[in-house]
Structure 1
């Protein structure tokens, strides 16, 4: 008992150190109205970064022997350097691994650190988390990740597409299914708060061992119920064989719970996303629990990074969608500077270090720091994994009554019973814990912004993949960021876990509604090479700037079958190496030297487009545009 209490209080002390804590509110406003510009801190960073990194592009251009750029051209590029962004799609570890190879190849070309932004969602957000943990050292990516351990113990690995997950997870159940569930309520944990209470009892129970080594408890009720949840009779037998002992699973969730508890103690709403965020962090090989001075605040980690302080790396942007009032395709973003949305419904941002503060009508009432936990933000962006569990529920509803009963227990630990999932309404006063809950809402009752984003004291955020917007492109296309070229890596699972361009098409349709027009290729016959979209110098509607060129890359077969399931949650070293190699080949077009030379033309096209004279491009570049551009 003494040893258990020592461990418990050590974890609790550590948790309190990294939990949100109250601070004095600053005298300056915490909310920014985003009318026509990015925030001042972002603007200053980019100006200093341009000075720091623009010669890296010149080095790349000088390495291109086919393109044969001259000194006058280099001077023009130095005077007006193009601005680059990177957008990494969702797709679980598939996206993370292919994306890491993609970035590594960019880094070898000298283009990664030259880029101004890197945006990610879902599996792409895991790359951003890794970059932050690794102090933006691109060549150190994956060194801290343990890819041979399950992300969530007790949940089986299976092959299903994101679209099937999202489409089927929200199907309505029949009335008789609902009645059957009500009859079973007495024997099940049916909501998140009850799960939290049971984990609380379990975490504080006295642990003993019998002579035969089995775990015993002074209070057997939570142990018995948790065992039914994780190991229901004749259910998930494949998962049973993957978990060495029942204690392994229990300890996994107990440790997550103890790390989450301090946030609850501080009065903040807890959701499944909090557990998911801590689970992601636990996949890092480095034990951050040993460092009492360590913080997982996104803003603090980034601003303490040597490379970021030197203005030599792209700004990371985590992307998520809002579900207040059952909205769809309303994008929110997290940068190291602020959190908010560019959507016309809001266009408000809060300083990121003060996320979690109580702000009413734009005035700070109570301020906190450390709410911007990197794991929680990453989990928010990748919460499509919540839908995995909902999908399992949906499958089980078509099975026997006994299977439904058993799986309802499993779903119940995550607050995902049928009534919790399918009876969400605008009038509901109960917080939905299957979403990431951001409470207090920093934009609550903001003056002259009376809508579903401001009239509640909480925000629900989810994985962008839930709305089919699996590529974080729109956050980079906004005119305020003035990008010239955006590299897109799409690792979606449209057909056989490979993308077919449909996610990009969906985003273009959404951009059309915002008066931003790109022509989607009518017939993409092969996605094994980059497709360059928007080469023609088209001015933005109502702006004097050009639309950015989009260089679209899709995960495809490049000598290795990289169409692994989004929900494949373990990889051996051979698989990792092959996925990384695929990412390199996707970016480099199979190391094609001609494409690399043409890339010099594509990257500098907007710089040349801004010149007043007509003859701007060499015959070589004109041929490159014919070879790769679709306009």
Structure 2
């Protein structure tokens, strides 16, 4: 018995080690006011990286036999090399797989490691997590992912737009619904698996006999029919050993999530759906990094990476939007160095290792490390998947009290079935935990910043896709990063799960408000090849630098079906290879040698634009600009 107890204590200690823990506060300030500069760590990294990776670009340019660049051109590029960034959109596994193929082809050209930044959100953020886990070895991407296992066991694959998921997940309850929910949650008790099984069957069959008025016509599925499909896909309820084992496996998965999330709660931190979602993402990795590293801290993992320490890879930037006070399109970012926002309403950053510390009026009161859990940050950036669970909950709650009761039982077993999980109260003191909750707010009561982002001791962060900003572009356009070219990969699901450019147009509209103007083609019927936007050298408002060129790549048909649902959560090897190949073809324009040569002209255009002389470009490059530029 004593041995069992010792083992238990060891496991408990290991579990608690993954949670945030208190540390001594440093003597230097933890908050940085972002005036017109990057943080010192980011600036130093970029200066060192330019020296380390300059030859990557030169090797690429020298391989372009059609372009026939001369010695003066190479001399100029060596003296003033262009700065590149990469923006990967959301779109679930579709985006992750297309994006992995995309940067793999970039890597083959030598352009991935040369790039200064790679920003991602939602499915794009999964690539960033994979890069960090794999020490930024592009050739090792996907090796740790169980793509043939359900991302969320028990949740069926279905084809529905992200916008529809968000809209339905956020529906409010009436005051009567709230009373019903609170009352019935308290009544819910599960004494055994068999009792639960019987109750689900009873309620499901009862609902099935009701009139069509009880059905959600928008889905053409009764909520409990959907619930039956989740746990009993063959739509029968014969209690066989096989079905019980399958059901138990699903329950064990969610119970395990609950146990892995509990240590953070025990340390006094607010838990949200995103914490569970973050643990679910990490569990799809084949080896337990939490066990090997004792933590999954983003800052610690990156700083321990050999390639990152050598300053030879792009800086990963996770993007999320803030919803404090019902804000819209207010971007926050996580880099390996800091967390915060460049938006005029804030322009404050906290050192990332100390995220989760109690900081009031800009001064540290209590400091912690390990709050910057990579799974939690990745889940924050891809929190549209929170809404899958909330959506299913709401389907039931809108149908009947019995359906609500049944789903309360389900979520209760998962450790998620508590009424405070959902935004059902007008009480402003209750945290809306269907958002990612960042509490304490490091910018709480910061002097001179009296607004919705500093007045409360919490921040609500969500997937950028919830605000329609599904491409992490604006974080790269800021003048402080001085980028010349940004590769954009759009894997949004606008029409038939292919993008139609609407997400980029929406971002351009937001940039217009900041007096940054890009034009987007109005009559493009297909995105079968890259479109280069902003070729003309236009100065940034109030700055001496030019706006970056945007090379827009859209997921499209290249001989392989790549318009899978955002919520397709398993892929076999054949599907994976097909998606990766599409990503390669999207970047290379179907391995077009002429386009590859033109890419040399496009990447160095801002370098040449900075020259005072007018005759800067060869006839070849001028033709390339005509072929691919829209401005």
- The TM-score, its normalising length taken from structure 1, stands at 0.90
8 Å contact kept, 2:82–2:485: yes
Deviation (angstroms), 1:390: 2.8
Name 2:342's counterpart in structure 1. 342
Name 2:207's counterpart in structure 1. none
1:263 and 2:254 are equivalent in the alignment: no
8 Å contact kept, 1:11–1:259: no
8 Å contact kept, 2:83–2:483: yes
**Aligned-partner SS, 2:332:** strand
Write out aligned runs for 1:218-257 (5 A).
Answer: 221=191, 234=204, 235=224, 236-241=227-232, 244-257=245-258
Q: Find the aligned partners of 2:71 and 2:410 in 1 and give their Cα distance.
A: 66
Write out aligned runs for 1:474-489 (5 A).
Answer: 474-489=474-489
Name 2:437's counterpart in structure 1. 437
Write out aligned runs for 1:297-308 (5 A).
Answer: 297-308=297-308
8 Å contact kept, 1:316–1:335: yes
Write out aligned runs for 1:598-617 (5 A).
Answer: 598-617=598-617
Q: Find the aligned partners of 1:388 and 1:516 in 2 and give their Cα distance.
A: 35
**Aligned-partner SS, 1:571:** coil
413-422 vs 164-173, greater mean Cα deviation: 413-422
**Aligned-partner SS, 1:558:** coil
Aligned CA-pair RMSD: 2.4
Name 1:593's counterpart in structure 2. 593
**Aligned-partner SS, 1:245:** helix
Q: Find the aligned partners of 1:296 and 1:229 in 2 and give their Cα distance.
A: 39
Name 1:287's counterpart in structure 2. 288
Q: Find the aligned partners of 1:31 and 1:225 in 2 and give their Cα distance.
A: 53
In 2 relative to 1, CA 24–420 (structure 1 residues): closer, same or farther, beyond 3 Å?
A: closer
8 Å contact kept, 1:322–1:330: yes
Q: Find the aligned partners of 2:553 and 2:630 in 1 and give their Cα distance.
A: 13
Cα distance per residue 1:500-528 (max 9 Å; x no partner):
11111111111111111111211222111
Deviation (angstroms), 1:403: 3.6
8 Å contact kept, 2:423–2:433: no
Name 2:498's counterpart in structure 1. 498
8 Å contact kept, 1:228–1:409: no
Name 1:201's counterpart in structure 2. none
In 2 relative to 1, CA 222–19 (structure 1 residues): closer, same or farther, beyond 3 Å?
A: farther
Write out aligned runs for 1:227-626 (5 A).
Answer: 234=204, 235=224, 236-241=227-232, 244-291=245-292, 293-396=293-396, 399=399, 402-410=402-410, 421-423=422-424, 428-626=428-626
Q: Find the aligned partners of 1:36 and 1:223 in 2 and give their Cα distance.
A: 60
8 Å contact kept, 1:272–1:414: no
Q: For structure 2, which runs of at least 5 residues remain unmatched after alignment? A: 205-223, 234-242
Deviation (angstroms), 1:187: 3.8
In 2 relative to 1, CA 402–18 (structure 1 residues): closer, same or farther, beyond 3 Å?
A: closer
- The TM-score, its normalising length taken from structure 2, stands at 0.90
8 Å contact kept, 1:15–1:260: no
Deviation (angstroms), 1:238: 2.8
8 Å contact kept, 2:299–2:337: yes
Cα distance per residue 1:295-317 (max 9 Å; x no partner):
31100110110101111000000
8 Å contact kept, 1:89–1:124: yes
In 2 relative to 1, CA 231–20 (structure 1 residues): closer, same or farther, beyond 3 Å?
A: farther
Q: Find the aligned partners of 1:245 and 1:65 in 2 and give their Cα distance.
A: 59
165-174 vs 510-519, greater mean Cα deviation: 165-174
Q: Find the aligned partners of 2:323 and 2:195 in 1 and give their Cα distance.
A: 32
Name 2:151's counterpart in structure 1. 151
In 2 relative to 1, CA 416–118 (structure 1 residues): closer, same or farther, beyond 3 Å?
A: farther
In 2 relative to 1, CA 422–16 (structure 1 residues): closer, same or farther, beyond 3 Å?
A: closer
Cα distance per residue 1:401-428 (max 9 Å; x no partner):
5444434544666768889645465x60
In 2 relative to 1, CA 513–100 (structure 1 residues): closer, same or farther, beyond 3 Å?
A: same
Q: Find the aligned partners of 2:67 and 2:198 in 1 and give their Cα distance.
A: 66
Name 2:210's counterpart in structure 1. none
Deviation (angstroms), 1:155: 1.7
Q: Find the aligned partners of 2:604 and 2:287 in 1 and give their Cα distance.
A: 41
In 2 relative to 1, CA 419–121 (structure 1 residues): closer, same or farther, beyond 3 Å?
A: same
Deviation (angstroms), 1:171: 3.3
Cα distance per residue 1:588-628 (max 9 Å; x no partner):
11111111111111100000000000011111111111111
Q: Find the aligned partners of 1:3 and 1:552 in 2 and give their Cα distance.
A: 60
Name 2:628's counterpart in structure 1. 628
Q: Find the aligned partners of 1:300 and 1:580 in 2 and give their Cα distance.
A: 30
**Aligned-partner SS, 1:556:** coil
Deviation (angstroms), 1:10: 4.2
Deviation (angstroms), 1:6: 7.0
**Aligned-partner SS, 2:621:** helix
Q: For structure 1, which runs of at least 5 residues remain unmatched after alignment? A: 190-219
50-59 vs 412-421, greater mean Cα deviation: 412-421
Q: Find the aligned partners of 2:43 and 2:431 in 1 and give their Cα distance.
A: 36
Deviation (angstroms), 1:168: 2.8
278-287 vs 42-51, greater mean Cα deviation: 278-287
Q: Find the aligned partners of 2:510 and 2:8 in 1 and give their Cα distance.
A: 49
